């Protein structure tokens, strides 16, 4: 897992702070504890502490909360995530994802003048508008009583949790690893939670919802965020890139595009099929992982004649539509 974003369109965000925030951490051989001692807020925090924190499979929001509490820079956050086993494919890619997450004002964080992550109190997605989740141990203890669906709903309502939090509540209670829940199941869980809580996520009960749960953000993506993204008239590749950052599948993307009026309802099936085919082939540089989440890379290439042949995994040498037109 890595910190990812809802908005990735700004390349100039925090440019004043980047000059300082990218110089704090030492080389790859330096432990996180040593790095933190150099620039952090003075809180003792060892590599073992880092691994213990990430062993709890924190959401992106929880990672950011911890980083802001400790007063970490971008390099320190990236190094901590690497120590915790959340390093991703490369340090550069990880830092890009961190920047994208912070650049989205809806997440409620910003870099200060010294390049340290701080909580932005004005955030519309900030903690002040969201009830705190109960401890995992308490959730598991509740589920140990084998509650009915009605009792689960009543418990969530009594805690004041929203639909996205209900998804996390249920996953924690039944011991599901959020990173291993398929995209279609997550979509269904979120819609079901919204219906049970009476939350408006657009589209009624028949699809075309304009809000979905993002497992990488640990919260719901809002209609206004999606409207802002699609207002830039993104290419299909950019849409897939956004979906990969949000941890979404084809169904969620298709439904949101219909709900926002980008795709006509009568074109629902053909639009879904076109995206599904493009992802299977990887022609836009993206494909589906084993859980149905859109991810970078992958895809398949047809080998043989039109009448006889087979699909094989796409390689870098095969290129994509993007490299062909570059």
Residue among 244, 59, 291 at smallest CA distance from 167: 59
Are residues 260 and 220 part of one domain?
yes
| Separation in Å, CA 122 to CA 107, 119, 217 | 10, 9, 18
In a domain, 3, yes or no: no
Are residues 149 and 106 part of one domain?
no
Are residues 105 and 212 part of one domain?
no
In a domain, 9, yes or no: no
Whether pTM > 0.75 for this model: the answer is: no
Whole-angstrom distance, CA of residue 81 vs CA of residue 32:
10
Please tell me the predicted confidence (pLDDT) of residue 35. 45
Burial per residue of 97-117, b for 16 or more beta-carbon CB atoms within 10 angstroms, e otherwise: bbbbbbbbbbbbbbbeeebbb
More confident position, 81 or 277: 277
Choice among 13-17, 58-62, 80-84, 239-243 with the minimum mean pLDDT? 13-17
Please identify, among 125, 149, 172, the residue that sits at the C-terminal boundary of a domain: 125
The values of phi and psi at residue 313, to 5°, are: -60, 140
Taking only the tens place, the pLDDT of each residue in 143-195 is 999 999 999 999 999 999 999 999 999 999 999 888 789 999 999 999 999 99
Domain that holds residue 60: 15-125
Are residues 75 and 56 part of one domain?
yes
Q: Crossing angle, helix 32-39 and helix 74-83, to 10 degrees?
A: 160
134 CB-contact burial (10 Å; exposed 0-12 / middle 13-18 / buried 19+): middle
Residue 9 predicted with pLDDT over 60: no
Are residues 241 and 121 part of one domain?
no
In a domain, 228, yes or no: yes
Taking only the tens place, the pLDDT of each residue in 62-108 is 888 888 877 788 888 888 888 887 766 677 777 878 877 787 766 77
CA 224 to chain centre: 17
**Ranges of H-type helices in the chain:** 15-21, 32-39, 47-55, 60-70, 74-83, 91-103, 136-143, 149-159, 163-173, 183-197, 223-230, 236-246, 250-259, 268-281, 321-325
Whole-angstrom distance, CA of residue 118 vs CA of residue 111:
6
Please identify, among 69, 103, 125, the residue that sits at the C-terminal boundary of a domain: 125
Query: Both tokens of residue 53?
Result: 């924190």
Q: DSSP letter string over 284-303?
A: TSEEE-TTS-EEES--EEEE
Dihedral (CA of 121, 124, 128, 132) sign: negative
In a domain, 4, yes or no: no
3-class SS at 207?
coil
% residues pLDDT > 70 (the chain): 78
User: Structurally, how many domains does the chain consist of?
Assistant: 2
């Amino acid at each position: 897992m890595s910190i990812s974003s809802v908005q990735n369109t700004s390349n100039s965000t925090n440019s004043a702070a980047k000059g300082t925030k990218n110089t704090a951490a030492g080389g790859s051989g330096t432990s996180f504890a040593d790095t933190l001692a150099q620039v952090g807020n003075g809180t003792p925090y060892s590599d073992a502490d880092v691994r213990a924190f990430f062993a709890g499979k924190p959401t992106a929001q929880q990672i950011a909360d911890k980083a802001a509490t400790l007063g970490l820079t971008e390099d320190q956050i990236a190094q901590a995530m690497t120590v915790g086993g959340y390093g991703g494919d490369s340090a550069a890619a990880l830092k890009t994802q961190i920047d994208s997450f912070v650049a989205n004002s809806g997440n409620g964080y910003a870099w200060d003048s010294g390049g340290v992550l701080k909580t932005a109190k004005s955030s519309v997605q900030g903690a002040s508008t969201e009830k705190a989740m109960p401890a995992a141990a308490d959730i598991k203890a509740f589920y140990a009583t084998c509650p009915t669906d009605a009792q689960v709903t009543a418990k969530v309502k009594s805690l004041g949790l929203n639909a996205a939090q209900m998804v996390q509540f249920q996953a924690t209670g039944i011991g599901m690893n959020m990173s291993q829940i398929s995209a279609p199941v997550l979509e269904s869980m979120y819609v079901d939670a919204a219906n049970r809580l009476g939350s408006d996520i657009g589209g009624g009960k028949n699809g075309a919802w304009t809000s979905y749960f993002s497992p990488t953000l640990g919260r719901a993506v809002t209609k206004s965020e999606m409207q802002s993204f699609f207002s830039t008239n993104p290419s299909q590749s950019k849409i897939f890139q956004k979906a990969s950052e949000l941890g979404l599948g084809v169904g969620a993307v298709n439904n949101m595009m219909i709900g926002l009026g980008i795709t006509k309802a009568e074109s629902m099936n053909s639009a879904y099929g076109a995206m599904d085919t493009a992802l299977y082939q990887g022609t836009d540089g993206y494909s589906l992982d084993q859980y149905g989440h859109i991810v970078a890379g992958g895809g398949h290439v047809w080998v043989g004649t039109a009448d006889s042949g087979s699909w094989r995994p796409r390689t870098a040498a095969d290129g994509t539509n993007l490299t062909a037109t570059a």
